[in-house]
A and B are shown apart, each in its own frame.
Chain A
Amino acid sequence: MNKFTGKVWVLGDDIDTDIIIPTDYLALPTIEDMKQYGFSPLRPELASRIQEGDIIVAGKNFGCGSSREQAPEIIKALKVACVIAKSYARIFFRNSINNGLLLIENDQIQDVVKEGDMLTVQMGEYLQLGDRTFPIASLPDNLMDIINAGGLVKAMQRRNGIETED
């Protein structure tokens, strides 16, 4: 998945983890049970409208708030291809890497992109909207190692000598 295109959903600054998944639903047994409530305090309709491969574009400090790992897991379960934000909160960033949710940092696309636009991502190189491109950075090596292993669970399985399929 080096290059992909997806439909954009636009969110604002400081999208916190209580918005991504309210505490009320954290005791539901599985992520699949929870995912319909994703973003419900802000946009109750959003979870049901997001389709596989869509892209979320947001402002600064995406994922601020609690350490709940259900936040990136729900975004991943909604089959969002990646989140593009001006910046991320620290715990959310770590949790996303560990679960294989792709995060991209860019602070320019927000000025021009509209909800429903089709946006193309060339990994580690640029974002493309119509005929305009916006450069993006690649992740540090130690994070790419975890992503390349398929997430932290797979990295630990390898450490413990467990072979897994795929």
Chain B
Amino acid sequence: MGSTLIEKIVARNIGADQVKPGQIVTVNVDRVMIHDIFIPFVADKFEEMGFTSLWDPDKVVLIYDHLIPTSAVEDVRHFKIGDAFAEKYGLKNVHRSDGICHQLMTEAGYAKPGNIVFGTDSHTTTYGCVGCFSSGIGYTEMASILGTGQLWIRVPETIKVVVNGTLPDNVTAKDVILRLIGDLRSDGATYKVLELSGSAVDAMSVASRMTISNMAIEAGAKACLFRPDEKTCEYSRVNMEDVDWLYPDEDADYCRVMEYRAEDLVPVLACPSQVDNIKPVTEVEGTELDQVFIGSCTNGRLEDLAVAAGILKGHTTACKLIVTPASRKIYMEAIKAGYMETLAKAGAIITQPGCGLCCGRAGGILTDGEKVLATNNRNFLGRMGTSKVGIYLGSPATAATSAITGKITVPKGIQGN
């Protein structure tokens, strides 16, 4: 019996020929990510545990994104503690305003194909877009990794997801992952790994795959992996020969196989207030909106801003539109490409790269009875303001189209998609 992608990564990491689901193993961690919200707790636990040095300062990345820029006086404390921790333990990889952690980890090359990476955030599954086994953990476990470089894991079962064919013009990777979450439900992949393949997946950019791996946690997944290809290698700045071992065997064992015809997929929305409450956009079309949000680590990349700008060009928004690029690099590329000018002319409020509205701390929070269509990853009760805000999650195409009408609207074809 052959191995799935996750089994290959874990086996190589621990120097075994093969591993099997259910086995409990201790892995050597290639990189860790800590963000501003949790650094005070990680620092506390690290010292409480009695560690006096980091296992490898180069392998630790500290990213300020949830509290950038600060929206409350107490937020400053997190940066002071983070800076002091970095200084004391010789931590060099500190990003103080470069963008959202999950974008930066692959963009800056910290998480590469075949690596094992853990982060203090549930959306750490994102780096699976380049074939990296990455998963979220709590701050106590992070503190123990900082001291030891290791973590125990249970080798997970794998669910194989195959999407073959060509996606319709108005259907994006976001619609694919939302549909998948709707079918799996919020706990359908708990303790398991999603492994994506098929011609529609092969045709996707790394950015689109990132949208899918980012949201895999919303079905409970421990990780979400894509086999690296030429696009991955170019993005991650590695050679194809470096990843020639990283493919699922034909006789690998899967606990479930889910197959989709890309042509059957339609634009969908996650409706209030659970991510697995998936409906076709047509079913809720016409719902009045108070705000539209395009951005986040789920859909704040250049291709997302390009789609939004393409749709909004020459139009004026009928409700508030907030745009948040996922990183400073993307922000600058979008300025250069003219997308930001188009969006600003259409009436968009463009914010700095950061977690802001997605985590409900700043930058457009809402109140009772208001409705928002957003491209981020969670629509939980109270996520973007009060618990009586209705949050719909959809693609940048659906979001931009709906911003023009001020109502939930089915997108038309996207040029060049």
Chain A interface (Cβ < 8 Å from any Cβ of B): 14, 16, 18-19, 22-24, 26-29, 40-42, 60-61, 64-69, 87-91, 94-95, 98-99, 140, 142, 151-153, 156-157, 159-162
Q: Is the CB of B138 within 8 A of A61?
A: no
Q: Which residue of B67, B75, B144, B222 is within 8 Å of A152 (Cβ)?
A: B144
Q: Is the CB of A61 within 8 A of B186?
A: yes
Q: Is the CB of A156 within 8 A of B49?
A: yes
Q: A37 to B136, alpha carbons, bound, how many Å?
A: 24
Which residues on B sit within 8 Å (CB–CB) of A24?
Answer: 360-361
Q: Is the CB of A67 within 8 A of B50?
A: no
Interface of B is mostly: loop
Q: Is the CB of A67 within 8 A of B381?
A: no
Q: Which residue of B49, B75, B141, B187 is within 8 Å of A60 (Cβ)?
A: B187
Given contacts A64-B220, A67-B121, A160-B50, are A89 and B187 in contact (CB under 8 A)?
yes
The smallest beta-carbon distance between A14 and chain B, in angstroms, is: 5
User: Looking across the interface, which residue of chain A has its beta carbon closest to that of B274?
Assistant: A14
13 A–B contacts from the bound complex (CB under 8 Å): A16-B380, A24-B361, A27-B77, A61-B186, A61-B220, A67-B119, A67-B120, A67-B138, A87-B187, A95-B138, A98-B138, A156-B148, A160-B50
Q: Is the CB of B138 within 8 A of A22?
A: no
The answer to whether B387 has its CB under 8 Å from any CB of chain A is: yes
Q: Which residue of B45, B67, B143, B381 is within 8 Å of A27 (Cβ)?
A: B67
Q: Is the CB of B24 within 8 A of A142?
A: yes
Which residues on A sit within 8 Å (CB–CB) of B37?
Answer: 23, 26-27, 68
The smallest beta-carbon distance between B330 and chain A, in angstroms, is: 23
User: Looking across the interface, which residue of chain A has its beta carbon closest to that of B187?
Assistant: A61
Which residues on A sit within 8 Å (CB–CB) of B24?
Answer: 140, 142
Which residues on B sit within 8 Å (CB–CB) of A87?
Answer: 187, 190
Q: Is the CB of B67 within 8 A of A42?
A: no
Instruction: List residues 113-145 of chain B with CB under 8 A from any CB of chain A.
Output: 119-122, 124, 135-141, 143-144
Q: A87 to B136, alpha carbons, bound, how many Å?
A: 18
Q: Is the CB of A65 within 8 A of B122?
A: yes
Given contacts A69-B41, A156-B50, are A27 and B187 in contact (CB under 8 A)?
no
